[in-house]
Amino acid sequence: MGRLVGYMANRSDRLAAALQQERAVVASAPTSERPTGWGLGFYQGGEVLHKKRPQLQGELDWGQVAKDVVSDCVVMHLRQPTVGDFRTQNTHPFRMRRWLFAHSGTIGRFEAVAEPMRASLPDFLARNIRGTTDSELLFHVVLSFLHDAGQLDVSDVDQAAVLTALRSAVALVDRLCAEVRGPESTLNLVLTNGRSMFALRRGIPMAYVERRGLHDPTAEVAPSPSGPATLRYVMVVGNGGEFPADWSVMEDGEVVVVDRDLVVHSHPL
């Protein structure tokens, strides 16, 4: 199975080291379940940037992928497609203005609910959809509720409004799937605007860890200094299977919110 990773830190220069420290959790799955592509979205110098590879050749080393990425807010995704073919437009994370989004799972009977989902969108959001995945359409449904709440272009977003948008999007998907008698949708996701990060567990194991310092640095990376410069980060991982004892496993239907000060809050969906 693939991986879904959200990362927020107090420093922008230690992503590769943090991935090295959490390598047992973020590593790709066994060969028999190997993901087929990867994507990485991040914030750098006021820009929202992407690195994507729709088809994966050989083993994936996140440290190599991220070694030149300088960012304190990152979304990473290893893809095993269930909807949509192998192309960049179908590779997570997806971007709209300041927002990044990645999803693991499948919307039940998506072929039957795709059109009513799309019909719920304002024209400017419907026109922004580039691929054919259920995930990208789900992202735009969430954005439509943020737009309705006046939060689409707000930097310091109202977290309660984002939670409401996520709840509304999930409720819409559930209602449409129920109407066509589809199975329950799997909706693990990470959403961020670079200032706050929202992670929802819905159907697949998901957990997070809060770290202070590098306790397992590589030979090329010195341990973090003490004091304010000490690396601190929160990492959320979905589809990780078994998690180490120091990780906090999320409940099904739980939303974890990480703010810019790396304070973590938990909310029911």
Per-residue model confidence as pLDDT tens digits over 82-115 = 544 455 788 899 999 999 999 999 999 999 999 9
pLDDT surpassing 90 at residue 30: no
**Confidence band (pLDDT; 50, 70, 90) for 38?**
confident
- Tell me whether residue 150 is exposed, middle or buried, using C-beta atoms within 10 angstroms of its C-beta: 0 to 12, 13 to 18, 19 or more: exposed
> For the ranges 14-18, 44-48, 217-221, 251-255, which has the lowest average pLDDT?
217-221
How many angstroms separate the Cα of 85 from the Cα of each of 2, 125, 131, 136, 236?
Answer: 16, 22, 9, 13, 27
Half-sphere exposure (Cβ direction) of 25: Cα atoms closer than 13 Å: 24
pLDDT of residue 130: 92
DSSP string, 115-150: HHHHHTS-HHHHTT--S--HHHHHHHHHHHHHHHTT
What are residue 268's DSSP bridge partners?
Answer: 254
Least confident residue range of 61-65, 159-163, 262-266 = 61-65
Distance of CA 219 to the CA centre of its chain: 29
Q: Which amino acid is at 257?
A: V
d(CA 80, CA 28): 11
Indicate if the pLDDT at residue 132 is higher than 80: yes
Domains of the chain as residue ranges with CATH: 4-268 (3.60.20.10)
pLDDT on residue 57: 62
Bridge partner residues of 267 (DSSP): 255
Its pTM stands at 0.92
What per-residue confidence (pLDDT) applies to 239? 78
Confidence of residue 31 (pLDDT cuts 50, 70, 90): very low
